[in-house]
Structure formats: C-alpha cells, structure tokens
C-alpha cells in the first residue's frame, strides 16, 4: 500500500497527526511523521538506535503497522501528552472529597489525551442515608452528569475528543436508573455505558429466579434484622457483607437492560466473571470496567497503548485465483510492532503517578488488527463463511503467538515486567491455552509484557490508511458520505469509497459489478458477527471492540438471543447498534450524517 492516496487520508493526517507548533507544520509529510515516531521510540533502545529506528520506520511505511493515535500525534514532539489511548481511573470512594478528587484526575487525564473508564458501583444508591453525615445520597447516575459536564468543558478548551466508559454492577440498587440514563437524547453524551454482568445473574435469568439488589454495609451501620448477603465488591479484597435493598426477577431486569439496548444501543454488557477468569494478572488485580471502547479491561489506574497491523498490506494477488496472505511477513511485522509498543511505555508521559506505576508494573500493550473485512474480500471470502472465520483465526493465532514469543525474547534482553510472578502467571487461563513451547519458555525466561493483544475499533487510523475497513468490523457500505469536524470546529463532508472496492475497480477496469464476497454490515446476521468475534477471542488476552449491527426491523425477541448467545459463545462482553431516532446512523450512503468522533462512541463492545 502506498502512502496517503485519498483526500480523507491526507485530511486525517493534517488535522490529527501532523506535528504543529504555533500554527506551523513541523511534519511536512506523513513520511516525516513516521520518521518522527520511529526516532522517538527507537531512542529508548539501550543499543543500536539507528538499526531499530530503521526497522520501526519500515514497519510504518505504507501503513503496514499503524500505532494508536496518541503515539502518532505525540511521539517525538514537545507536547505534554500521553502516548496511551486507554485508561481506567482509580476507585471512586463514596464521599464528596474523594469523588471530586476523582473528577479532577479524570480531567487531567483527558487534558493529556487519554480516554477514561470508571466503575460507579462504589457510590451509594439514590435515596440512601449516609449515616456519618446524615445526608441523602443522590446516587451514581447524578455524579455521572457532573463527569459529563466536565468532559464537555474539556472539549470547549480545544482538548482532544473526550471519551468515557461508565459501568455499574448488575446487583447495584440503581441499576435501572443506570440502564435508562441515556434514553433522553443528549444526556450523558460523552459516556458509553456497560452493565457488569456475572455468571450468577445469567444463570438466574435462565432459571427465572429473583435477583437481589445490594450495597455494602458501612462500618457505622447496623445490620439489625435486615437481610444481608456476602458479595465481592470493588474496593474490598474479599467478599463483603451487603444489605439486600430490594429484589427483582432476574429475567425482568435482563429484559429491561435489553429493551434499553434495543431502543438506544445503550448499555453494553461486560461479562465480568469471564474477564477476570481470563486475566493473566488475576493473581494481583481485580477488573470491573474497561477503557471507553472496551478492548482493554483494566484495573484501577490501569493503562494500555495500542497499535494495529493493517492486514490489507499483506494480501498477495488480490481478487485472483492465487490470492493469498503473506503470513511470514505478518510474523515479521508482529515482532517489530511488539517491540515498538513495549518501547512506548518507556517514552510516554503519564498524567498521574499511579498510572505510570501501573503501566510500568504490568507493561500491558494492545497489538491488534485492522482491515480484516477488506482483507477477506480481497482473498475471495464472504465475512459470514466458515472459510473467512478460519482465515481470521489463523491470522490472529499467528499474531498472538508471535507476539508472545517476541515478548519472551524481550524479557531475556530487558527483563520481565515487575508484577510477574512465575507460578500464578503460568497458571492463568489464557497462558495455559498457549502452545507448549511458549509456556515452557515463559517458565524459563519470563515475559516482558503481562498482556499483548487487543483489537481496537481503529476508526480514525483506518481512514488514515486510505479508508480500509476498521478493526474486525464488516464494511458498512462501499460508498458512503460522512461529515468530519475540522480544527476550526466546523464540519467538512467527504465522499468515501472502501479500500477493497477501489482495489477491485482498479483491477476490473472500473467495473462496479461486485463479486458475492462484497457483503455489507447490514446484510450480515447478528449471529455471523458474533461468530467472527468468538473465533478470534481465544487468541486475544485483552479484549475485542466489536459492535453487533442490528437491522432496524429486527424483532425484540430475536434481539434477546444476541446477548445470550454472546455469553454462551464465551465472549467477554457484547454491544449492539441499531439505528433509531435516538441513536441516528453512523454513516450515510447518500448524505453526510454523523461526525467521525461519534463512530468511536458506538465501537465499545468486548
């Protein structure tokens, strides 16, 4: 693939990733941006700076490897911004002083360019009494509005788009207020919402049992004759005594969650038990929420930097009988990209000391893929075919295992991540699933990074790479129009053609009679999309951002089965999008619709 060959690619580079100072462009071309990034990341190497700078630059040329937007925009500049896209903030302690301290920390993180995730389950339910202060609590949703206003204020100062994730436990007494919090258009518009769902809740739904809504008993409270249960809760190392505030039929609560998701595409679902069972660091951390788009579940103050391998760059003889993938080159680029992202940890700044400690302690990275749908089309596969899923799994397995082998080599060279404990790490669910040679090598040499793989939505960087399909999403349509917010706060319209579509036209001398593999998102069943996500999940130690596209006329009865199927397929979560008067449409095949930033607000499932 060449450099910027489309107006949208040039525009995205100019508006988002070109280094400017006082209005002057210091990057004169995208090649200079790549050179800047490669030089900055190679400077961390203890030896052979020039050699690694050249390796990193060659990986970036032609969009073969595309680092996350924060890396492209910030590496090698004088900007005081973080190179990490993803953060989960610290525990929100349930008192005014700590709540507003948490708000300040979020503002500082957003100012530096990071999106944030929060678990609001620690805030007492609306209407309860804080015995120590004698005040009536307003509940977690009320405080979310304060966060939302802060985010809007940050945007008005010219900061990067604010993005936040709010999650709440399925047994919190305010869960119904939470799931309906975005029903009114314009409310909490800077938040993505996700319900933390446990296996016990899903089992209660299946067996039509009552479900208790609970909150921890405070030190100054008496249990008296009130019913209590032991529950794990954020902020406590072991299960804690909780008052049962009320009960609701589990199936009724589930249907209310699903009805809101059907009507407004909010909330998504986090299958928390599965997230923690599969966590490589389950021995030293508990995860209750994710970054804004959901591809990285993180502990308090956790952070992760991202990058994606552009699969379209590795298709040989597309649309021919000999069309094939260059897997050897994918292995090569994976090894280079893994080293690059590991180096980013050491050349990035952090808004908060706690974030730096977590990032350096775990050395989490999130290497993923983009352009999957276009790649499958160019190979002659329809997204819903078994051959397509098998090919996607082969790609993901290759990248995952290569990244782990590279991280082991890095550990031999530079040392394992500080939180590494050999015994518990080797016993973790995901590590147990790795090939024997990787498992044995970790036992012998350790490993540099606790986690290595995450599949992000890649909306903006996929436009940068000449409008390839984003992440693992199917192509929305092969010709679309969209509006994009420019640096002056005004919208510009772009007519876009999909990368695989343009490639086909070039090879077919302009023919628009498309082969059968050219299938769009709205022609794919939700099950086909879930199956693709499930096929890749075994090779992803973080998570996958994938939005299940739901036809507007899809029945609610069938919609209920989508999320239940996601749980049964072993996914870590699920999010859907169904166009309706509240959500609108992300793209338009005829007239410009939403701006680019809104796309990220929908791509948040794991």
295 is known as an active-site residue: yes
At 144, list the tokens: 């979310």
Dist CA 122 CA 289 (whole Å): 12
Helix, strand, coil in percent for the chain, rounding step 5? 45, 20, 40
CB 419 within 8 A of CB 450: yes
User: Which H or E run contains 37?
Assistant: helix 30-42
The four Cα atoms 257, 261, 264, 266 give a dihedral, to 10 degrees, of: 80
Dist CA 503 CA 511 (whole Å): 11
593 is known as an active-site residue: no
Read off the DSSP letter of residue 496: E
Catalytically annotated residue among 85, 192, 272, 291 = 291
Three-point CA angle 353, 356, 358, nearest 5°: 110
Block residue for tokens 């349509």:
477
Catalytically annotated residue among 295, 517, 535, 599 = 295
At 112, list the tokens: 């530096």
At 378, list the tokens: 């160019």
Dist CA 461 CA 370 (whole Å): 9
Dist CA 365 CA 338 (whole Å): 8
> What is the phi/psi pair of residue 289, to 5°?
-155, 180
State the alpha helices, DSSP H only, in 175-249.
Answer: 175-179, 199-206
Q: Encode 66-96: b = buried (16+ Cβ within 10 Å), e = exposed.
A: bbbbbbbbbbbbeeebbbbbbbbbbbbebee
242 is known as an active-site residue: no
CB 471 within 8 A of CB 369: yes
Q: CA distances (Å), 201 to each of 250, 255, 268, in order? A: 7, 13, 15
* Among 397, 373, 368, CA closest to 385: 373
Catalytically annotated residue among 18, 86, 170, 293 = 293
> What is the phi/psi pair of residue 604, to 5°?
-135, 5
> What is the phi/psi pair of residue 162, to 5°?
-80, 135
State the alpha helices, DSSP H only, in 415-498.
Answer: 422-427, 429-432, 436-445, 459-464
Would you name the residues annotated as active-site residues? Answer: 291, 293, 295
């Amino acid at each position: 693939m060449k450099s910027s060959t489309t107006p949208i690619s040039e525009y995205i580079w100019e508006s988002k990733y070109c280094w400017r100072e006082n209005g002057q462009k210091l990057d004169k071309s995208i090649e200079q941006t790549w050179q800047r990034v490669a030089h900055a990341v190679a400077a961390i190497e203890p030896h052979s700076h020039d050699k690694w700078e050249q390796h990193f630059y060659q990986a970036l040329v032609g969009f073969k490897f595309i680092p996350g937007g924060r890396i492209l925009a910030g590496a090698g500049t004088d900007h005081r911004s973080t190179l990490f896209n993803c953060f989960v903030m610290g525990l929100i302690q349930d008192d005014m002083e700590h709540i507003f301290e948490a708000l300040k920390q979020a503002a500082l993180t957003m100012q530096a360019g990071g999106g944030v995730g929060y678990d609001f389950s620690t805030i007492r339910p609306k209407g309860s009494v804080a015995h120590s202060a004698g005040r009536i609590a307003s509940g977690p949703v009320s405080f979310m509005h304060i966060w939302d206003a802060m985010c809007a204020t940050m945007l008005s100062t010219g900061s990067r788009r604010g993005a936040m994730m709010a999650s709440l436990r399925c047994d919190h007494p305010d869960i119904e207020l939470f799931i309906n919090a975005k029903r009114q258009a314009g409310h909490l518009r800077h938040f993505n919402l996700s319900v933390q769902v446990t296996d016990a809740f899903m089992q209660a739904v299946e067996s039509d049992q009552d479900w208790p809504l609970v909150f921890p008993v405070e030190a100054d409270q008496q249990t008296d004759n009130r019913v209590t249960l032991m529950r794990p809760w954020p902020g406590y190392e072991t299960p804690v005594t909780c008052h049962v505030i009320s009960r609701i039929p589990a199936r009724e609560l589930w249907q209310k969650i699903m009805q809101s998701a059907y009507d407004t595409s909010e909330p998504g679902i986090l299958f928390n038990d599965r997230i923690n069972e599969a966590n490589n660091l389950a021995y030293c951390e508990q995860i209750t929420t994710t970054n804004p788009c959901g591809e990285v579940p993180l502990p308090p103050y956790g952070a992760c930097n991202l990058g994606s391998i552009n699969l379209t760059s590795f298709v040989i003889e597309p649309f021919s009988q000999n069309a094939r993938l260059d897997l050897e080159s994918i292995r090569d680029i994976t090894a280079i990209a893994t080293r690059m992202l590991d180096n980013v940890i050491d050349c990035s700044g952090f808004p908060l000391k706690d974030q730096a400690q977590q990032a350096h302690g775990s050395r989490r990275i999130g290497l993923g893929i983009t352009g999957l749908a276009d790649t499958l089309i160019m190979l002659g596969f329809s997204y819903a075919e078994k051959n397509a899923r098998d090919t996607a799994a082969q790609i993901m397995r290759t990248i995952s295992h290569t990244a782990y082998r590279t991280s082991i080599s890095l550990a031999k060279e530079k040392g394992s991540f500080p939180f590494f404990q050999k015994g518990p790490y080797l016993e973790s669910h995901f590590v147990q699933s790795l090939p024997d040679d990787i498992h044995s090598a970790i036992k012998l040499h350790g490993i540099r990074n606790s986690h290595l793989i995450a599949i992000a939505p890649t909306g903006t960087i996929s436009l940068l790479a000449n409008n390839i399909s984003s992440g693992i999403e199917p192509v929305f349509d092969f010709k679309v129009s969209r509006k994009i917010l420019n640096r002056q706060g005004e919208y510009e319209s772009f007519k876009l053609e999909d990368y695989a579509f343009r490639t086909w036209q070039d090879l077919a001398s302009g023919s628009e009679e498309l082969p059968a593999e050219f299938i769009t998102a709205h022609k794919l069943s939700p099950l086909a999309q879930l199956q693709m996500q499930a096929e890749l999940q075994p090779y992803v130690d973080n998570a996958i951002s994938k939005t299940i596209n739901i036809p507007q006329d899809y029945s609610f009865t069938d919609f209920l089965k989508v999320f239940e199927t996601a749980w049964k397929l072993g996914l870590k979560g699920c999010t859907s999008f169904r166009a309706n008067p509240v959500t609108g449409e992300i793209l338009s095949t005829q007239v410009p619709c939403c701006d680019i930033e809104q796309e990220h607000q929908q791509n948040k499932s794991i």
